[in-house]
Amino acid sequence: MWGRTTTPEPSGISRARHLMKITRSVFASVALAAAFTTEAANRVPPKPDWTVSDMPSQEGRIVLITGGTSGMGYEDALALSRAGAEVIIAARNAERGQQTIERIRQQVPDADVRFEAVDLANLASVRNLATRLNERLARLDVLINNAAIMAPPQRKISADGYELQLATNYLGHFALTGLLMPLLRESDDGRVISLSSIAASRGTINFNDLQAEQTYNPYATYAQSKLAVLQWAFELQRRSEASGWGVRSIAAHPGVAVTELVERGPGLDSQFGMRWAEDRDEYHSAAQGALSTLYAATAPEAIGGAYYGPTGEEEKRGPLGFAQTPETATTRADADKLWQLSERLTGVAYP
């Protein structure tokens, strides 16, 4: 063969060079995580006592909330309706959707609120919702990716054959956001608010068994799905900035709030459910849990790429502020790998 002939390095030198590469890679990852944390720390945090009374008027704003028929999604819909927004609640159950609209109108008689059916664990349903909204709306100002399921005892799969928590909590929202990006870009202040969890700090993205086919642990799989949401929210902000989409991507978590999530997931008769029921006085209400989302969705000073949540003990509840960001959520290589994989799994490529 033509070309330069090279002499193999002694094995000791080769190992040393390999170690240096690994060391540089580790230092680069640590530096990136430190820069990310420092940047957030240098930003102006929310008022710790921020409440819905601090929300600016949302007149003329159009907001879509997934899973808005109960829990924090309902509190989001109620507060935003009070502030004058046009609110679209997207969820599976049309009957519950109508009941939710009636509940909101009892408290806000002139509320501009309606229901749209969607099953986030069915990508065809997600596409149908996006098609309807792209046909009916001139723009979308805020998308709140709120819907979730938590730790079903047995592994279940979505309509598309994916593990159900990953499909509902992450992949469905990834697809919906990508399909609605043209509408979000038409807004003067487009925002995507994605709900993670304090469980994300205990999560890892298991690319070798992403669908938990080999080993299913309900809580580890839930943590993985919420870490995926957080990684994606940060990566979405980076791509929005790089491509000039003009859309803010903001992550939030509610701490631990009293909602139906446990009842519908592991169940109140499970060990986790019984412990949750015993300790529920230590948690806060769904309305309090919704504050971080509402701040991210409405506050003029809310920052793209930030992560908001309660800042009390273990971030279970307490004053609003910047949430602690797990180092695993700041790894660019993993975020890029997850993004590309998500595009393949959902068939949705962002513009």
Cα separation values, 68 from 25, 115, 330, Å:
42, 9, 29
Task: Say what the pTM is.
Answer: 0.84
Collect all residues with Cβ–Cβ distance below 8 Å to 147 and sequence separation of at least 6. 66, 67, 73, 90, 91, 120, 168, 169, 172, 173
Amino acid present at 29: S
What is the per-residue pLDDT across 57-116, written as a single tens digit (0 to 9) for each?
Answer: 999 999 999 999 999 999 999 999 999 999 999 999 999 999 999 999 999 999 999 999
Residue 7 phi/psi, 5-degree rounding, is -95, 125
What is the per-residue pLDDT across 227-269, written as a single tens digit (0 to 9) for each?
Answer: 999 999 999 999 999 999 999 999 999 998 655 554 454 544 5
C-alpha span between 347 and 106 (Å, rounded): 41
| Domains defined along the chain, listed by start | 59-346 (3.40.50.720)
What is the per-residue pLDDT across 305-341, written as a single tens digit (0 to 9) for each?
Answer: 999 999 988 888 899 999 999 999 999 999 999 999 9
Cα separation values, 121 from 159, 160, 166, 216, Å:
6, 8, 9, 18
C-alpha span between 139 and 63 (Å, rounded): 10
C-alpha span between 164 and 162 (Å, rounded): 6
Beta strands, E only, 276-328:
307-310, 320-322
Alpha helix ranges (H) inside 70-148: 71-82, 94-107, 123-136
Just list the catalytic residues: 222
